[in-house]
Chain A
Amino acid sequence: MNIDTIILGIATLVGLYMAANIGANDLANAMGTSVGSRAITLKQAVLISVIANLLGAVLAGTHVTETLRKGIIDPNLLAGTPEKFMLGMFAALLAAGIWVHLATVLGQPVSTTHSIVGAVVGFGLVSVGFGAIEWGKVVSIVISWIISPIFGGIVAGGIYLMVKRKILESECPGESAKRYAPFLVFLVFIVLTLSLIYKGLKNLHLNFSFQNALLIAIAVGIFAALISRWLFGIIDFDSKECRFTIGAGGHLVTESLFAYLQILTACYVAFAHGANDVANAVGPLAAIFAVVKTKTVAAQVPVPLWMLAIGGIAVGGGLFAFGTRVMETIGKNITEITPVRGFCAEFGAATTILVCSRMGLPISTTHVLVGSVVGIGFVRGMEALDLRLVKNILISWFITLPFTMILAIIIYEVMLHTFY
């Protein structure tokens, strides 16, 4: 058995471990708002996550994978030493995995995305040097980490304000909800469709111009809105809620309609997560496989579809095995998340993640979701938000990058001296 096969095997294991970790934490958090609002049950959440996440990874996941592989480091500088590149990616994967595991034990809100970016930068620094890193790219990634939660917060807060003004503050919230919900469905589908068909779904070789893509997205949105209008008409729902009724669990009856909408946004979040975060584990893995196969460091290697699929499945497996506990905890503890708030938070988060994913910026799902929830809090939509978590997240940003960087460097050096 040669060194390549061993590395390939171990790398796959580490990649799967990383993917499972992502599922257990990131995805579980992302779906937690749905379970928390009781829009869907735990089992439904797991099912939706696994399927939508897999679809997101396979259909829309390639962009970020490319960024991680060749955006941060210029592979041409390592063209002469493919084994170094391979080792480096392996070190990055392992370092990120260890850091995420450590943070899990310590209870710190770190991001799997940030870990892998830090580790890749660390490997680049030690293997080639300062010049190997595409610093412009790294800076734009770091800026996206700051902007993405804020953007998610603005979208979520804006949607919440709109829902509050148009539905909650109206004389008959039930009637208003029926009237405006199709518009929300329209928004969800337009963003989802646009992100899919405009430079998404590379594997289907769709080449729409932005205008055409927008037109198609609008058409799909209108179609979905019409269907939802028809569906909301069928659902036996107390539309005459002009009196002060409060349904079971303290939720308003109007909220039940948002629970249906939240099923949609839950799929949307899981899909966006698959598109963005599966790449964290698959990106480096794809790079390693490409090197082993071709013995060169090519500037462009297509990420095999099966690898995205395996990554997606591993993330789903991680969620199934370890994430249910996280979701259960969230479901039990976050009673403040009503379907309306859950819908707004998920809509803001998923939209942000899809936009960033499309731009090739690897961001953290959990952090964007936190940003979205806080955004709703800032427009006075939440009962009590503890902003200390936000401080912890800020601290974790400043620790994660140097830590994974140094860890990746150490692992890389040790392996380099052991094997070569």
Chain B
Amino acid sequence: MRGSLVQLFYKTPFENLLKHAEKVKLCAQMLLKAAEYYINGDVEKFDEMTEKVALLESSADQLKRNIRNHLPRGLLMPVEKFQFLEYLREQDKVLDKVEEALYWLSYRPPDLPGGIAEDLLDLVKGVVAPIEKLAELTEEAWNYFRNGREQDRILVKKSVRDISQWENEADLLERELIKRIFEEVPEPLKAFHLIKLIGIIGQIADHAQNAGDRMRAMVAK
């Protein structure tokens, strides 16, 4: 269409960013289910979950590449492009870590001492919450950039604070759990496996927090 204004408007990258966040959220929820299956010794269902997450991860990767490849140089956005891409990277790393945690779980058969199994599940729940919030955060930020309303910005800021707080809580759980493992798990191999696993799970929350911080920078005035 000649000189049509349509040419001026580019598809907003926030749409795909939100889709990506939704996939990350889904994976996090699957991680929780997989951990439950693992602790209950349901290896078959656990493997099924791991496969599903792997599939989701590759489709999220595609989405990520699609977003990156479709930000032409002459694109004028309400945020700096590099900030946007940094946010995307952190959001994607969350997913990578979820996958890594699942793989790490699968490296050893499930034989956790009772109390530790419960604590581990609590830790996973603790990191799933900030990830679920990421999707909300993305949507709120999109609303803010679409409408420019202060109220939406306040919501974004609140979500970032929530994520940060939950990450702190997960951190505490992580440290307590590690301490407990050293006290209660004498076998070095088993202890190593668990400690490494817990470290990876902790990193999931770290990346969620990083993503939140990036978003906070994007809405900074």
Contacts and interface: CB of A to CB of B under 8 A. Distances in A.
Given A244-B155, A380-B78, A386-B8, A25 B147 contact: no
Contacts of A414: none
Interface stretch (A213-221, A295-303, A351-359, A366-374): A366-374
Contacts of B149: 168-169, 173, 252, 254
B183 interface: no
Interface stretch (B35-43, B51-59, B68-76): B68-76
A385 B2 contact: no
B82 to A, nearest CB: 15
Interface residues of A, number: 58
A311 interface: no
Interface string A314-351: 00000000000010011001101110100000000000
A388 B76 contact: no
Contacts of A250: 146
A377 B79 CA distance: 11
B72 A246 contact: no
A403 B145 CA distance: 42
Given A25-B3, A104-B2, A110-B3, A384 B9 contact: yes
A144 B89 CA distance: 45
B32 to A, nearest CB: 29
A392 B72 CA distance: 15
B157 to A, nearest CB: 13
Interface string A382-394: 1111111111110
Contacts of B74: 386-388, 390-391
A288 B10 CA distance: 44
Interface stretch (B11-19, B91-99, B174-182): B11-19
A26 B5 CA distance: 10
A250 B113 CA distance: 50
Contacts of A62: none
Interface string B1-31: 1111111111111100000000000000000
A387 B75 contact: yes
B9 A338 contact: no
A274 interface: no
A113 to B, nearest CB: 12
Interface string B137-149: 0000001011111
A383 B146 contact: yes
Contacts of B76: 374, 377-378, 382, 384-387
B106 interface: no
A334 B9 CA distance: 6
A140 interface: no
B145 A383 contact: yes
A30 B75 CA distance: 22
B7 to A, nearest CB: 4
Nearest to B151: A244
A385 B7 CA distance: 9
A252 B9 contact: no
- Residue of B5, B11, B78, B79 with most chain A CB atoms under a 10 A cut-off: B5
B206 interface: no
Contacts of A385: 8-10, 75-77
B90 interface: no
Contacts of B155: 244
A212 interface: no
A384 B77 contact: yes
Nearest to B152: A244
B44 interface: no
Contacts of B79: 380
Given A26-B3, A164-B148, A384-B12, 4 more contacts: A169-B149, A366-B3, A386-B8, A386-B74
Interface of B: 1-14, 72, 74-79, 143, 145-152, 155
Return the 7 tightest CB-CB contacts between A and B, nearest first: A109-B3, A387-B74, A169-B150, A385-B76, A384-B10, A386-B10, A383-B12
